Amino acid sequence: MDEHTDLSEDEVEDEQGQDEVPVAFDLTEEDLDRLQADEWGVFTESSSGQVLLDPSSLYDGPSGPKRAAMAYASNPLAIFYFFLPKELWRKIADETNKFRLDSVDEIAQAMRARAQRPRETVPSTMVYSVEEYKAKLKRKNVIQPHEIVRFEIYCGKATAEEEAVVQQAVVKNLTQVLRGQPAQRLVCTDNFYTSVPLSHKLLSMGISHVGTIRKDRRGWCRDIEFTQKKRSKRMPRGTYRIARWRGHPEFVALTWMDNRPVRFLATGCSTPLTHVSRREHDGSLSQVPCPRVVRDYHEAMGGVDVHDQLRLQRYSIQRSIRMRKYYKTIFLGLVDLAMVNAFVVHKVAMKKKNLPVPTHAAFLRRLHVDLLNQTSEDFNSSDDMAELVTEPLPRQEHTLEKTEAMNGTERRQLLCKVCSAYAGAGVRSFETSYFCASCSRAKKGRVTLCNKARRLDHGSSLTCNEVWHQSWKNGTAIPAALQDKIRLVKKRRPGVVRESDGE
């Protein structure tokens, strides 16, 4: 879409609400049943070699950690906060303190009830009143972000109408991660995520997919299943059966016999014969023949296995502490993920600078010392990361441009998106002719922003441009209470003060 083209109001509302609307898959249950019944073209062991598909063209541009991440990568504490930002710690502390105050009445009643039980046998036992318990609870010090000891995470109640939740999450996450970037990627998933509707949806987005799949998934080709659960001695290791969806030849279903049958579903992958290395019982390596799609899967999932080994088998906080509350375990898992990601990026940075690369244990020891030295002062800064950056940040790609569109003799002006979010009783909204081209492309609509200081953030005066790009992280971290107020509309709303008329 041309960066100077505005979306219609209906189209913009669809774009703005994309995170709230569930992902819709194109294949219905009837389509999957019909596919499973008679739309797979099956090739058995004797004819499976006839299926020779070429891979789809994939992205071959720059890869690796972002420049923004590399700017903090030399400092273990900085790169850890890059993946687990201080704003999250503040939010957890605020919500925990709020929950504690909201629960004072309930907790005080329970404390008094417990204290009264001994009175049944010892009448002289002293028991405080509910009000005294409340006062005692309210005197407790609030939790600070740097000393969090409990976490409240509400995940919502599952409903009977919810279906394919994990597959929807894959689509939403990829949409967010690849926003503004070329598609043409190969995504690998295990059998927890893989399904025919997911592969079909990713293909429509220009993304190839390969994953192991469960045999009870709707639409799966049952005609390529092996009857035995284990490979017999008479069957060569690496034997496989393959099927293609007649209506979509790029879809491949594959059952490959290792020591046990392994099922794959793939789109945009190649099928010529190659081999993979497999570990034998005596520790030796053997070369097992397989279609190229199997090797693609093993190469991609190998990185996932290494990450899991670092997170779950080496120095895992999540597995070393048993928690009664599930949400604490969830958060410790997030901390483990952040530490592993930080270590991986730190290694890349050290190698790039030809500096000694620390071991995993040495990296964690330094990070633990730095975290223990954190105080409340470290969380009061207006810029969380300014003091931690170890090399210059990449040049800001988000710069304001002035529209060339004219409205009579004047340049066309539209509502500033930040002003629109904060507009209300007694708060004016302004129009401006400045816009951010990069954000406009990402949002698929004109992102107009004032270039005058109108907001206060942690005592600092910020322009609407700085609020959008710094506080709101290029429009990806807009506060939930303000998201519904932002609309990229084509027509100017009446009764709005122009930027030049303001102040």
The tens digit of pLDDT for each residue in 188-236 reads: 888 888 999 999 999 988 899 999 999 999 999 999 999 888 988 889 9
* pLDDT given for residue 261 in this prediction: 94
Contact call for residues 370 and 146 (beta carbons, < 8 A): no
Query: Which residues have CB under 8 Å from 282's CB, separation 6+?
Result: none
Mean pLDDT of the chain: 79
Judged against a pLDDT cut of 60, whether residue 286 lies above it is answered with yes
Query: Residues of the chain with pLDDT > 90: what percent?
Result: 17
pLDDT at 151 over 70: no
Q: Which residue has the higher pLDDT, 427 or 72?
A: 72
Between the ranges 1-10, 279-288, 422-431, where is the mean pLDDT highest? 279-288
As a whole number, mean pLDDT of residues 167-184 equals 77
Assess whether pLDDT exceeds 60 at residue 158. Answer: no
Residue 313: strand pairing partners: none
Average pLDDT over residues 407-431: 81
Q: 264: which strand partners? A: 212, 254
Average pLDDT over residues 287-302: 88
d(CA 20, CA 208): 25
Q: Given this model, what pLDDT does residue 289 score? A: 92
Mean pLDDT, rounded, for 397-404: 79
Put simply, whether the predicted model's pTM sits higher than 0.85 gets the answer no
Could you give the CA distance from residue 83 to residue 338 in angstroms, rounded to a whole number?
5
**Ranked by mean pLDDT, which of 67-81, 170-184, 238-252, 402-416 comes out on top?**
238-252
Least confident segment among 130-144, 208-222, 461-475: 130-144
Query: What element of type H or E holds 402?
Result: strand 400-402
Range ranked top by mean pLDDT from 91-95, 292-296, 398-402: 292-296
Q: What would the pLDDT profile of 318-361 be if each residue is shown by its tens digit?
A: 888 888 888 888 888 888 888 888 998 899 889 988 999 999 88
Is there a contact between 255 and 203 (Cβ–Cβ < 8 Å)?
no
Flag whether pLDDT at 179 surpasses 80.
no
Position 219 scores a pLDDT of: 94
Please tell me the predicted confidence (pLDDT) of residue 72. 85
* pLDDT at residue 487 in the model: 78
Per domain, the residue ranges of the chain are 39-59+162-311, 72-150+337-394, 400-501
Predicted confidence at residue 225, as pLDDT, reads 93
pLDDT at 303: 67
C-alpha span between 189 and 250 (Å, rounded)? 18
Query: pLDDT band for position 386 (50/70/90)?
Result: low
- DSSP at 19: T
Local structure of 122: helix, strand or coil: coil
Cα–Cα distance between 366 and 174 in angstroms, integer? 33
pLDDT in tens, 227-274: 888 988 889 999 999 999 998 989 999 999 998 999 999 998 889 899
Strand positions, DSSP E, 387-459: 400-402, 406-407, 410-411, 414-415, 430-432, 434-436, 453-457
pLDDT band at 308; cut points 50, 70, 90: low
Q: Is the pLDDT of residue 148 over 70?
A: no
Higher pLDDT, 187 or 19: 187
* pLDDT above 80: residue 149: no
pLDDT over 50 at 167, yes or no: yes
Q: Check residue 19 and give its pLDDT.
A: 40
Distance CA 71, CA 65 (A): 10
Give CA 91 to chain center in angstroms.
Answer: 18
Distance CA 436, CA 397 (A): 10
Question: What integer is the mean pLDDT of 420-441?
Answer: 82
> How many Å apart are CA 264 and CA 213, to the nearest integer?
6
